[in-house]
Amino acid sequence: RLIFPFAAVGAHLVDFAISFAILAGMMAYFGFAPGLNILAVLPLTLLTILAALSVGVLVSALNTAYRDFRHLLPFLIQLWMFLSPVIYPVSILPERYRWVLWLNPLTGIIDGYRYAVLGSPLHWASLAISIAAMAAALFLGLVVFRRTERRFADIV
């Protein structure tokens, strides 16, 4: 039954690969040559997959247990996007408030991609927080998934 969250992540991984190929083409066209930092994309992609799987497994378990959860999910995802430094850099905040953004597990991943592609500085503590939070979320998601999967056939 874990195949469904894995399949959903796999489908989006294809989208990611196509987007990255387009980005590489645009970088070549505009003469932007990344440094060796670009090699960090591979482990960051694995961390992104871990993040997607941890959220996907947990959400799929919660969605089968609480049917109304699927209506709340788009709002939660949109809120999480705005709380993540996707459209703004962490440096936009004063130094004394940056720790708030570092509590968000996606901050380290997003900063990692900026480091890999653009050469921005990398905050290692934020990346460590992301790794620990995603591992804990995957563990929690698998525990909740295993406890609720007995009822999947009855609900679905």
- As a dihedral over the C-alpha atoms of residue 54, residue 56, residue 58, residue 59, rounded to 10 degrees, the angle is 150
Q: What average pLDDT does the segment 86-105 reach?
A: 88
- What tens digit of pLDDT does each residue of 102-152 get? 888 899 999 999 999 888 888 888 899 989 998 998 999 889 888 887 776
Do residues 47 and 134 lie in contact, with contact meaning Cβ atoms separated by under 8 Å? yes
Q: How far apart are the first and last CA of the chain?
A: 12
What's the confidence (pLDDT) of residue 65? 77
User: Which of 83, 77, 140, 132 is CA-nearest to residue 110?
Assistant: 83
Name the band, by pLDDT with cuts 50, 70 and 90, for residue 10. confident
**Residue range 44-80, pLDDT digits in tens:** 999 999 998 988 888 888 888 788 888 998 999 899 8
CB atoms within 10 A of CB 56: 21
| pTM score of the predicted model | 0.81
At residue 17, the pLDDT reads: 92
- Quick check: 155 pLDDT over 60? no
Domain boundaries of the chain, sorted by first residue: 3-155
Answer for the pair 73, 63: CB distance below 8 angstroms, yes or no: yes
Task: Map residue 147 onto helix, strand or coil.
Answer: helix
Cβ neighbours for 67, distance < 8 A, ≥ 6 positions apart = 155
